[in-house]
């Protein structure tokens, strides 16, 4: 199964979220493409609306972009994992580099959030990745393995965890597209260490409709986590089609 999803970050309105969701629902009325698990991560304000539009039993999983480790309390501005689940989320994105850089997310808070998410029966989508200077110095594998080990500390069963390797130098409008050979060492290390423990290893960072297939061909890559290229529903559907063409066929 290839996991292919998008986070909309802090973009859109309720109207645009409903429009995207209804087009996606209609396009996938017969189910998700074989071998592909779609997921979308709207802003928290649109989570419930998107869930309503997609409907119960949708093949598209919903996620929250962040959630606090506490179940409730005096944490102004935060939402809890339970609240995210109540609004329809099945997974929680944790540790994106923007949250680590701009919102003081640390390995420790990432770990707390991973454990809280698992504790509520949701899937953590754990984001890890190194800055460009670390990549240039050849330190990517150590950096990424260190982040994953910290995030999973004390987690007995990581079977519901998704790991997204998102090198900071590759994501967003100032990122540079990774070449497949830039990714092989990290995915080899992640696959060796965690491949049989977690649900899937995803890649994210300037993925688009042109480079998706070659990215999915990197050994160990089990899905794509996409920003800009999936913010229009047609772009996302195209990525799902590309993944479907590469997904393992059951029984073969
Ligand atoms: C991201 O920011 O996590 C991301 C993958 O974005 P993009 O695809 O736009 O590089």
Q: To the nearest whole number, what is the mean pLDDT of the chain?
A: 97
Decide whether any atom of ligand 1 lies within 6 Å of the 225 Cβ. yes
Cα 167 to ligand 1 centroid, rounded to whole Å: 10
| β-bridge pairing 223-226 and 200-204 | parallel
Q: Which of 51, 68, 93, 96 is catalytic?
A: 96
Mutate to test the pocket of ligand 1, among 177, 208, 227, 235 (most ligand atoms within 8 A of CB): 227
pLDDT of residue 248: 74
- pLDDT for the residue numbered 249: 66
Q: In whole angstroms, what is the distance from residue 12 CA to residue 137 CA?
A: 38
Q: Tell me the Ramachandran region of residue 100: left when phi exceeds 0, alpha when psi lies from -120 to 50, beta otherwise.
A: alpha
Residue 252 lies in a domain: no
Domain annotation covers residue 20 = yes
Does residue 251 sit within a domain? no
What is the Cα–Cα distance from 244 to 38, expressed in whole angstroms?
Answer: 11
Integer angstrom CA distances of residue 189 from 107, 168, 194, 201, 243: 19, 18, 8, 11, 23
Domain range spanning residue 171?
Answer: 2-246
- Give the pLDDT of residue 247: 77
DSSP track, 145-206 = HHHHHHHTTT-S--TT-EEEE--GGGSSTT--PPPHHHHHHHHHHHHHHHTTTSSEEEEESS
**Ligand 1 contact, 33 CB (< 6 A):** no
Nearest ligand 1 atom, CA 9? 2
H/E run at residue 137: none
Residue 182 CA, ligand 1 centroid: distance in Å: 16
Identify whether 223 is part of a domain. yes
Residue 252, pLDDT above cutoff 60 = no
Residue range 90-102, pLDDT digits in tens: 999 999 999 999 9
C-alpha of residue 205 to centroid of ligand 1, in Å? 5
Count of domains forming the chain = 1
Tell whether pTM > 0.85. Answer: yes
**Domain annotation covers residue 112:** yes
Q: Nearest 10 degrees: CA dihedral of 62, 68, 70, 75? A: -130
Residue 112 has pLDDT above 70, yes or no: yes
Q: How far is the CA of 251 from the centre of ligand 1 (A)?
A: 33
Select from 148, 141, 243 the least CA-distant residue to 182: 141
Does 95 reside within a domain? yes
Beta pairing, strands 162-165 & 2-7: unpaired
Instruction: Report whether 65 contacts 41 (CB < 8 A).
Output: yes
Kindly state whether residue 230 falls inside one of the protein's structural domains: yes
Q: What is the CATH number of the domain that holds 202?
A: 3.20.20.70
Is 238 an active-site residue?
Answer: no
Tell how far the Cα of 31 is from the centroid of ligand 1, in angstroms: 26
Query: To test ligand 1's pocket by mutation, which of 162, 206, 230 has the most ligand atoms within 8 angstroms of CB?
Result: 206
- Ligand 1 atom showing the smallest separation from residue 98 Cα: 2
170-196 pLDDT, tens digit per residue, is: 999 999 999 999 999 999 999 999 999
Residue 64 lies in a domain: yes
């Amino acid at each position: 199964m290839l996991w292919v999803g998008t986070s909309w970050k802090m973009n859109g309105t309720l109207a645009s979220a409903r429009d995207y969701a209804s087009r996606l629902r209609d396009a996938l009325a017969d189910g998700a493409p074989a071998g592909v698990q779609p997921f979308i991560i709207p802003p928290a304000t649109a989570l419930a609306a998107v869930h309503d539009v997609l409907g119960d039993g949708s093949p598209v999983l919903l996620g929250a972009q962040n959630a606090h480790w506490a179940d409730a309390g005096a944490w102004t501005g935060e939402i809890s994992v339970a609240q995210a689940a109540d609004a329809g989320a099945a997974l929680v994105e944790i540790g994106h580099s923007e949250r680590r850089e701009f919102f003081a997310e640390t390995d420790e808070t990432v770990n707390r959030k991973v454990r809280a998410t698992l504790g509520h029966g949701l899937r953590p989508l754990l984001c890890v990745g190194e800055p460009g200077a670390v990549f240039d110095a050849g330190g990517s594998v150590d950096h990424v393995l260190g982040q994953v080990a910290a995030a999973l500390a004390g987690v007995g069963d990581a079977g519901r965890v998704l790991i997204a390797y998102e090198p900071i130098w590759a994501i967003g409008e100032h990122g540079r597209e990774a070449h497949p050979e830039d990714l092989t060492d990290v995915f080899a290390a992640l696959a060796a260490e965690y491949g049989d423990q977690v649900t899937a290893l995803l890649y994210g960072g300037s993925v688009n409709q042109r480079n998706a297939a070659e990215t999915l061909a990197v050994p160990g890559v089990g899905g794509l986590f996409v920003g800009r290229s999936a913010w229009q529903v047609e772009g996302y559907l195209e990525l799902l089609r590309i993944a479907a063409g590469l997904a393992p066929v059951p029984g073969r």
